Amino acid sequence: MEYRISRASQAFRTMYNTWRGTIPLSTRIRIYKCYVLPHYLYNIAALGLSHTMIQKRLDIAHRKHLRIICQVWYPNMISNTELYTRTASIPISHHAINYRWSFLGHILRLHINGQSSMCYDILYTYTYRNMFSSNNIRHCGDNVYTLPHLLNDDLSYLPEGIKLQFPADLERLTTLAQDREAWTNMTSIIYENRIKPKNEQIIGKIRRIRQQRTQRAKKPCIRLMENRE
């Protein structure tokens, strides 16, 4: 991540006179998206960094560049929301969510067409190991951030309770990816719930957990009623 920021900053500094010049803001933003932004977004679909880590490092560096392009200097101030609105941009963390799920849909569709890839094999190995791992085993140390972990974390923002833990879950996602419209709708739901403020995210998670518990509690009752009949 540090190398990614240094490369983007180096490309930004080479055109520093352009950002401080009298060129219209829309033109400066187009130049920035063409020459600097790709350094942030390169291969970000497979980047094993959590949403919080990207927000704390990449988003901050990105906003620093946008403030210089808008020529907002201290003591003048501008909020993050107004900054993104003025520059017609979105945070790097938001780009990462969209790229990650469009990349996964592409990989799953390739597998159905008989063109298996290394990424799909990694996902299948991850789910296959989870099928035989014990629930009592707990990881010691820092949290593990890999692409399967990030995808499973994103799926927790869906109200349907879809997960990526076992091979059956991967097959379900593979079937869903064949319908591009349904896949796009699912990705938009994940994106909208992911970018909500922290308080709204916590409330939404509590509601989804309660819905899942009520659905699980109803299933045994239905089975008992069928057995009595």
Asked if residue 136 has pLDDT above 60, the reply is no
H/E element, 207: helix 198-228
Question: 95: helix, coil or strand?
Answer: helix
**Nearest-5° angle of CA 83, CA 86, CA 87?**
85
Q: What is the pLDDT of residues 159-185, one digit of tens each?
A: 777 888 788 888 888 888 888 999 999
Residue type at position 114: G
Counting Cα atoms < 13 Å in the Cβ hemisphere of 185 gives 7
> Residue 46: pLDDT band by 50, 70, 90 thresholds?
confident
Residue range 121-130, pLDDT digits in tens? 777 676 666 6
Greatest extent of the chain over all pairs of C-alpha atoms, in Å? 81
Two structure tokens written together for 4: 């990614």
Confidence of residue 224 (pLDDT cuts 50, 70, 90): very low
Q: What is the pLDDT of residues 61-89, one digit of tens each?
A: 999 999 999 999 888 889 999 999 999 99
Q: Residue 65, exposed/middle/buried by CB under 10 A (0-12, 13-18, 19+)?
A: buried
Q: How far apart are CA 150 and CA 164, in angstroms?
A: 10
Check: CB of residue 150 under 8 Å from CB of residue 134: no
**How does pLDDT run across 186-208, given as a tens digit for each residue?**
999 888 888 876 555 555 666 66
* Residue 184 identity (one-letter amino acid): T
Measuring CA to CA, which residue among 43, 92, 44 is closest to residue 64?
92
Sign of CA dihedral 66, 68, 69, 73: positive
Q: What's the mean per-residue pLDDT of the chain? A: 80
Amino acid at 101: W
pTM of the model: 0.75
Indicate if the pLDDT at residue 225 is higher than 60: no
| pLDDT value of residue 30 | 94
Amino acid symbol at 148: P
Higher pLDDT, 222 or 71: 71
